[in-house]
Amino acid sequence: MCVPAAFYRLLPVSIYLVFALCGSCSRDERPAEEPDRALRATYRQPTSGADDKWRAAYHFTPPEQWMNDPNGLVYHDGEYHLFYQHYPDSNVWGPMHWGHAVSTDLLDWQHLPVALAPDSLGYIFSGCAVMDYGNTSGFGSEDRPAMVAIFTHHDETARAGGVVGHQSQSIAYSTDRGRSWTKYGGNPVIPNPTPPRADFRDPKVIWNERTDSWLMVLAAKDRVVFYESADLKTWSKLSEWGSGQGAHGGIWECPDLFPLRENTSGETYWVLLSSLNAGGPNGGSATQYFIGEFSDGRFTLNESFARRLAEEGPQWIDYGRDNYAGVTWSDVPKEDGRRLFVGWMSNWTYAQQVPTETWRNAMTVPRALQLQRTEKGPILTSLPVRELTEHRRPGVELADRRIEGSLTVFEDERGQELAASEIVIEIDLGKSDAAQIRLVLKNEAGDELKLGYNRRANTYFTDRRSAGRQAFSDSFATGVHTAPRIGTGERLSLRVLLDRNSVELFADGGTTVMTDIYFIDSPWTTAIIETTGGAAALTKSTVFPLG
């Protein structure tokens, strides 16, 4: 985490310590095998008030207070679980709990009580959850398989006292579909190593079918470390990877590792995600990916991917400023077969200052990750989950227009339809000579959000500098955000998701993705396609209000 972020994140810690010393806080000293009974049992319904205009319609937001990373993403018995880094007592970062919600369609979420709270080993930092269907841990039974959460215990008292090795990995389990949790008596299952490591966190575990064992990846400052286990309780270290690879300049956090089949060849590659704070392509936090192979306990880069890294630099899952710490769902049924991803739709640079008060931050739209073949080897793409398309209301379509200057593609006088909408645009670049082609959203307050394509640089961009409030942070609207156009070909395609305070651009089938938040006080009323330096051949544009 960069210095200002660290500073802001530790502010509430001192407040917390004062409470802890007074003996009046909820820090939990119960025996580790006891279920978490002291947890807040119910949540108030999502608040209503001045913040409502920014509360997403179809993105996940916490019912109240602070949220950062998605955690414990797991599917079981018809439900997608989303746990998340949560401080239920404040709207800034503090003693971390795991908040919890479930959904059957990844879009409509039911809030559940907090699942895990800090205890004598520390705060509950990021981690994952798996279904132990083989009952390797012995926590469940054949009829009632255990859902096992694997997370980092962060000992804030030790950290504040200058102890370097203050993070370790622990587990907890539930045999009632994630509704109640018991922390394992033998925690931590991976103590901080010797010599100690300051940053040693965010375990992500999969069942490795090639070795019939559990495989963990965790982040350790400028690299990842791999561990293996037969029972989720006893872990042995396999190897480390990443020092000097890809983007550095910050701390590696929240990694993920999984095999994925490439669409066309059917060949399987291993994908490694690694979030980096700071050092993202447009500043602050962002998530890079690597493609390679995991065998004999080691990760190695795919040759073509290594060449791509050398020629083009780091590869990002999303080039916008607001997609961090994203990881994928475990145990999605084989018949479904998708590798589903969600990220935290914010950036440590300003996440604690954004203008919502009663709740803070949202998740990105859930996305399906795929490997796509290109001439230069496989790349990772992401597209909104197909469940979202079911929420499209009848669209307003325009086809075959030559745009020189501007063309209004949607007018929404009451400001009710664009707020949560999907805009799909196709341009024939072969018949276009415009230097810039952009989509502009406008409202009655004179705000403008722009995103589009710059032909000469072959880049996409988003520009939120005139889109609402900026004063809450000097680093929120510092410049135009840019991303390479990775897709090739004459057909430029844009899918744009709007949801009250966010925009997600999926260009060329999800080969370039940009996610950004903004804070406007009155809703978008007009969507316009504009060109500069020439004309654009619009094949088709459709605006779907999302219901």
- Is 325 a binding residue for ligand FRU by CB under 6 A? The answer is yes
- Is 187 a binding residue for ligand FRU by CB under 6 A? The answer is no
Report the nearest approach of ligand FRU to the CB of residue 544 (Å).
Answer: 32
Burial of 426 per CB tally in 10 Å (0-12, 13-18, 19+): middle
Q: Which run of H or E residues covers position 131?
A: strand 123-132
Site string for ligand FRU, 61-90 (x = CB under 6 A): -------xx---------------x-----
Report the nearest approach of ligand FRU to the CB of residue 23 (Å).
Answer: 25
- Of the residues 28, 64, 202, 331, which one makes contact with ligand FRU according to CB under 6 A: 202
- Is 96 a binding residue for ligand FRU by CB under 6 A? The answer is yes
| Residue in 137, 223, 156, 147 with CA at minimum distance from that of residue 21 | 156
- Of the residues 217, 254, 379, 503, which one makes contact with ligand FRU according to CB under 6 A: 254
Our CB check for ligand FRU shows the closer of 370 and 515 to be 515
- Is 436 a binding residue for ligand FRU by CB under 6 A? The answer is no
Query: Does the annotation mark 69 as catalytic?
Result: yes
- Of the residues 83, 125, 241, 316, which one makes contact with ligand FRU according to CB under 6 A: 125
The CA angle 425-428-432, to the nearest 5 degrees, is 115
Question: Is-cis flag, bond preceding 188, omega within 30?
Answer: yes
DSSP 436-464: EEEEEEEETT--EEEEEEETTTTEEEEEE
Calculate the CA dihedral of residues 173, 345, 342, 156 and round it to 10 degrees: -30
- Is 253 a binding residue for ligand FRU by CB under 6 A? The answer is yes
Burial of 283 per CB tally in 10 Å (0-12, 13-18, 19+): middle
- Is 159 a binding residue for ligand FRU by CB under 6 A? The answer is no
For the chain, what is the radius of gyration of the CA atoms? 23
* H-helix segments, 220-260: none
Report the nearest approach of ligand FRU to the CB of residue 285 (Å).
Answer: 7
Left if phi > 0, otherwise alpha if psi is -120 to 50, otherwise beta: which for 234?
beta
Report the nearest approach of ligand FRU to the CB of residue 476 (Å).
Answer: 18
- Of the residues 27, 201, 360, 481, which one makes contact with ligand FRU according to CB under 6 A: 201
- Is 339 a binding residue for ligand FRU by CB under 6 A? The answer is no
Our CB check for ligand FRU shows the closer of 28 and 69 to be 69
Report the nearest approach of ligand FRU to the CB of residue 240 (Å).
Answer: 17
| Residue in 162, 174, 159, 2 with CA at minimum distance from that of residue 96 | 159
Our CB check for ligand FRU shows the closer of 126 and 421 to be 126
Burial of 521 per CB tally in 10 Å (0-12, 13-18, 19+): middle
The active-site residue, picked from 28, 36, 69, 322, is 69
* Residue keyed to tokens 């410049």: 479
Indicate which residues carry an active-site annotation. Answer: 69
Binding residues vs ligand FRU (CB under 6 A): 1, 68-69, 85, 96, 125-126, 152, 201-202, 253-254, 325
